[in-house]
Structure 1
Amino acid sequence: MSSERPALRSLLFVPGTRTGWLAKAEAAGADAAILDLEDAVPPAGKPAARDHVAEAVANMTGDMALFVRINPLDGWAGAQDLRAVALPRLAGVVLPKVNGPADVLLADRLLSWCEREHGLPDGHIALVPLLESAAALREAYEIARAAPRVAYLGAVTGKGGDVERAIGYRWSRDGTETLALRSRVLLDARAAAVPCPVAGLWTDIADLDGLRAFAEQNRSLGYEGMVAIHPSHVPVINEVFSPSPEELARYERLIAAVDRAQAGGAGAITFEGEMVDEAMAARARAALGGGP
């Protein structure tokens, strides 16, 4: 089931206490919304927020994918969250405070029970483990391989967050201090065959130029999308993680050139000043949605 997860360019956090803001996420063009029951909800408000989020999931319409960040599974709140929101319309669960593969296995088992309860196929709901500690980041590959439903795994290195505190780096606008970390986590995710890895996040709401540069850096590394915290960030992220018309046109020309060369018995050819072969054509076909 995990290989069939759709690519998501933008995943926008929405507080679990503000489910009415889902309309804003859709209007911004977010590919997915993440209703947050963890950090965005004070302890006293969690039961009410859980009810509101469950209602929102049950009544969700439209094409935007819907995720829920539950509370950690080291207490009853997280398990109650899962039971309430694991409904047919839910695309995935964002699992915080993951320390290792055992946390993923527990979440996977609980989700399987919830899916059976609602008559859903096993693996219907994706699982997105958040790597927020040094131990989790070091074990990214094992965490990624722990369950087939793991998807969208990546390094989320927002300013002042759990990862900065855990690693001890000093955040900078150009992201130099986390470049190696984001690259290594991406390699672990790819090696584990996790579909559609996403990175994140940019916390300066007004700095859209900084957001664009950070998104472009993540796309260059090989990420397929980013987590966002504000609707104004969504159009920038969507643009960066979408191929431009010029890129699409070049892919089509490259494929046509390689096909013509192969029909004539040639392999590698010169195309617009570069040497290309079937490997480059396969990459172009994948970018156009034609598969490998």
Structure 2
Amino acid sequence: MADHIAVHRSGLTMPVVTPRFIDNAWRRGCDFINMDLEDSVPEHMKGYARTLIKDAITNVTKGGAEAFTRINHDLVLADLEGIIWPGLTKVNYPKAEYGEEIQLLDRIISRLEQERGIRPGTVEIGADIETSVGVANAYDIAAASPRVREFGGASGYDMSRDLGVEMFVGFDQFVYGKGEVELAARALGLEPHTAPFTANTTGSVGDPDRAFREAEAARKCGFRVGGGLHPNVVEPQTRGFTPTQEEVDEAHQVLEQYRQLEVSGETWAETDGNIIDRYEAARARKLLDWSELCAARDQEKAEAFARVEAAAA
């Protein structure tokens, strides 16, 4: 079971071999930057790309974002040797299909942490489900290592190719796989990351309005992890995954009403057509806890930005 709650509302995946992306990543206001060694890096540049990660970690994190790296499914050892350095938060492993793969990653990462002076257990594993085999083995994959703390997938380009379905349609062609992956995550106490269906028939990756609607809907369905490919989606994702002030005020009211119930010895009451009981009180506490974590994360990023600006002055 996850022993902490990270705040990963917004993030950008970008090729580490494109300097203008990496150099400006810290300015984007993301909760994380996912530096890619996989699909966006040509085969002849894979080795070179690994050599860039160590310095790129320092660059992308100076604005307060966490540093992730997506490796290649078939180049695990070489990629891990090149990317496990202080400051890296997560290794994203694409097309995960078996728990044994995750256990192998865990062993290699543990060795590299020890060799490079990184606190044991620091580097997380993102086991990305992108095939039907991965969906079928979702629980075993998610349970394979304590480094897996967020778990999701079962949608996107690779999944559409594996299933033989069109990517951009007006219905949810991934609903079954996403449900299986979410249930595996929740059964293990992990943070699930997927999203409820919102139509995208154009294939746009930079629509801020759609990004907000999807993030807000995802949060209301119990999800708290975002990510994208275009800078335009960062702010709306961050906003959509963060409780509104109205929601925070309502949560405080629910807790106050429940405290009054406890004093009176009652277990539930109806107020303005809404039931107030211990379950609603627990829901309100969870929302307030998440709101506080979001505020703290935003403060961390603001302070990081201020330090960079002060150093440049």
TM-score surpassing 0.5?
A: yes
Cα 1:214–1:181 shift into 2, 3 Å: farther
Q: Which runs of 5+ in 1 are unaligned?
A: none
Letter in 2 for 1:189: A
What's 1:168 paired with? Answer: 164
Cα 1:189–1:209 shift into 2, 3 Å: same
Instruction: Out of 230-239 and 11-20, give the one that drifted further.
Output: 11-20
* SS of corresponding position for 1:9: coil
Q: Deviations over 1:149-170 (max 9, x none)?
A: 1022112522xx1100112233
The whole-number CA distance in structure 2 between the counterparts of 1:108 and 1:58 is 23
Shift in Å at residue 172 of structure 1? 4.1
Q: Contact 2:218/2:241 (CA < 8 Å) preserved in 1? A: no
What's 1:221 paired with? Answer: 221
The whole-number CA distance in structure 2 between the counterparts of 1:180 and 1:220 is 19
What's 2:109 paired with? Answer: 111
Are 1:67 and 2:65 an aligned pair?
Answer: no
Q: Contact 1:258/1:278 (CA < 8 Å) preserved in 2? A: yes
* SS of corresponding position for 2:11: strand
Are 1:189 and 2:178 an aligned pair?
Answer: no
Shift in Å at residue 287 of structure 1? 1.4
* SS of corresponding position for 2:39: coil
Q: Contact 1:199/1:227 (CA < 8 Å) preserved in 2? A: no
Structure 1 segments, 4+ long, off by >6 Å, are: none
What's 1:41 paired with? Answer: 41
Are 1:244 and 2:240 an aligned pair?
Answer: no
Letter in 2 for 1:197: P
What's 1:126 paired with? Answer: 124
The whole-number CA distance in structure 2 between the counterparts of 1:256 and 1:84 is 53
Q: Contact 1:28/1:232 (CA < 8 Å) preserved in 2? A: no
The whole-number CA distance in structure 1 between the counterparts of 2:110 and 2:7 is 23
Q: Contact 2:93/2:126 (CA < 8 Å) preserved in 1? A: yes
What's 1:91 paired with? Answer: 89
Q: Deviations over 1:37-61 (max 9, x none)?
A: 1111111111221111222125543
Percent sequence identity over aligned pairs: 29
Q: Deviations over 1:106-131 (max 9, x none)?
A: 11111111111122232111100111
What's 2:303 paired with? Answer: none
Shift in Å at residue 223 of structure 1? 1.7
The whole-number CA distance in structure 2 between the counterparts of 1:214 and 1:62 is 25
Cα 1:179–1:24 shift into 2, 3 Å: farther
The whole-number CA distance in structure 1 between the counterparts of 2:63 and 2:205 is 27
Q: Which runs of 5+ in 2 are unaligned?
A: 293-313
Shift in Å at residue 7 of structure 1? 2.5
Q: Contact 1:50/1:84 (CA < 8 Å) preserved in 2? A: yes
TM-score (norm 1): 0.89
Shift in Å at residue 98 of structure 1? 1.3
Q: Contact 2:154/2:181 (CA < 8 Å) preserved in 1? A: no
* SS of corresponding position for 2:265: coil
The whole-number CA distance in structure 1 between the counterparts of 2:226 and 2:167 is 18
